[in-house]
Amino acid sequence: MTANRSRELMERARRILPGGVSSPVRAFNAVGGEPPVVAAAQGAHVTDADGREYIDFVLAYGPHILGHNHPAVVDALAEQLGRGVAFGATSEIEIGLADRIVAAMPSIEMVRFVNSGTEATMSAVRLARAATGRDIIVKCAGCYHGHADALLAGAGSGVATLSIAGSPGVPAGAVADTVVVAYNDVVAMARAMDEYQVAAVIVEPVAGNMGCVPPRGGYLRSLRELCTKYGAVLIFDEVMTGFRVAYGGAQELYGVVPDLTCLGKIIGAGLPVGAYGGRRDLMEQVAPSGPVYQAGTLSGNPLAMAAGVAVLDVLREGSVYAQLEEMGARLATGLSLALGAGGVVNRAGSMVTAFLGIGPVTDYATAQTSDLERFGELHRAWRNSGIFWPPSQFETAFLSAAHTPEDVDAAIGAASAAMAFAR
């Protein structure tokens, strides 16, 4: 093993994969430094191609709530491998995962499995539009709902604005029916609902894709009331928060009942999976029980279903959420002290973001006031201390059941040292 194996592999990757990656954030463009090429992972640790070990606060951007390679998941996958990996037919393991999701989230009476969070949100929006006979959807600035055209709408100002496309290649027409309002702003949402014939409001009940931004007290309840009043479908995008902030997701934590819910990440334990579900009268409009078309060759994939069942069974029986809450508090408190006046820490359970800026971060506009240079410096310091932290100010860090207090303290210690050096 040469000391530059990661670099060599990345150079090879860049010649044949755009940016050397299969998803943009992995290229470290926002923070600088050479992105790692990961060779293996176990528990709360990843090892790069040079044999260097890191404490992992990325956790594949959310799925690994039990850490990498939890024995229950490994055993379930091995067992399923012996039975086959894809059938193009309903399997018992798929019914089993659906049972668990329906039991965990009372708002979900029926569920459809897909292959990613992107597919889940795209399909939920289609269903909401079909069910209401309306086209307009409202989303919040800074909330990410996957990369489907209609949801790749740029940030608006505080007041509702019809949005412009957030990427070249997205036709204006594809986002013409997408209205963007500020997160945590009930007045802007109420105005949008009043002004447009809204099919659906789609929201991250705890925002995790502008960094972690929890909902203000009463915000989600107000969205529920507005959707009910105007006959719009309330879609909670719980791809990140489902089984993360509580077993029953943010809807359990905040006691608000959406019409449709999107899931992904944790329910696949690191295998490609997504799901959308909700009220029976809505879900029965999905083909073939209804006319709203949506399909997938590998949807309900038995390997992914088996991994999901294994994770949910550990989460349901154990005391993982109490442990994650404790460790999350430890990390957030420690980081807050380390940052001092140079930053603020947002947290929801085991979702944590250290914003390098002043003042509270409550929406995309305030998140964007962060000092991205300083975040880059902090990130490189973490990297040099063996801490694998999400490589963007606007990504949330995660904890798993495999993280020890020592792992958490290592991240805090490295941040303290970096901040002291910068002062």
Catalytic residues: 144, 237, 265
Q: Could you tell me the CA-to-CA distances from 412 to 64, 324, 362 in Å, in that order?
A: 21, 16, 23
Closest CA to 126 of 151, 157, 98, 101: 151
| Alpha-carbon gap, residue 381 to 376, rounded angstroms | 9
Choose the stretch contacting ligand PLP; rule: CB under 6 A; options: 24-32, 138-146, 163-171, 325-333: 138-146
CB of 57 to ligand PLP, least distance (A): 16
Per-residue contact string for residues 245-274; x = within reach of ligand PLP by CB under 6 A: -------------------x---------x
Q: Closest separation between CB of residue 276 and ligand PLP, Å?
A: 11
| From 139-147, 169-177, 245-253, 281-289, span contacting ligand PLP (CB under 6 A) | 139-147
CB-CB contact of 116 with 60 (8 Å): no
Query: What is the rounded distance in angstroms from the CA atom of residue 409 to the CA atom of residue 407?
Result: 6
**What CA–CA distance (Å, rounded) separates 341 from 346?**
14
Tell me if 145 contacts ligand PLP by CB under 6 A. yes
The CB-of-353 to ligand PLP minimum distance in angstroms stands at 13
The answer to the question of residue 116 lying near ligand PLP (CB under 6 A) is yes
In the complex, minimum distance from the CB of residue 259 to ligand PLP, in angstroms, rounded to a whole number: 17
Q: Give 123 or 163: the residue with its C-beta nearer to ligand PLP.
A: 123
Laid out side by side, the sheet with 397-398 consists of 344-348, 351-355, 397-398
Nearest approach, Cβ of residue 133 and ligand PLP (Å): 25
Q: 56 — phi, psi (to 5°)?
A: -100, 110
Kindly list the distances between the CA atom of residue 381 and the CA atoms of 142, 398, 423, in Å, as whole numbers in the listed order.
27, 18, 14
Q: Does 146 bind ligand PLP (CB under 6 A)?
A: yes
Task: List binders of ligand PLP among 209-228 (CB under 6 A).
Answer: 209
The residue (of 212 and 339) whose beta carbon lies closer to ligand PLP is: 212
Cis peptide, bond prior to residue 288, ω within 30 of zero: yes
Residues that bind ligand PLP (CB under 6 A): 116-118, 121, 144-146, 204, 208-209, 237, 239-240, 264, 274
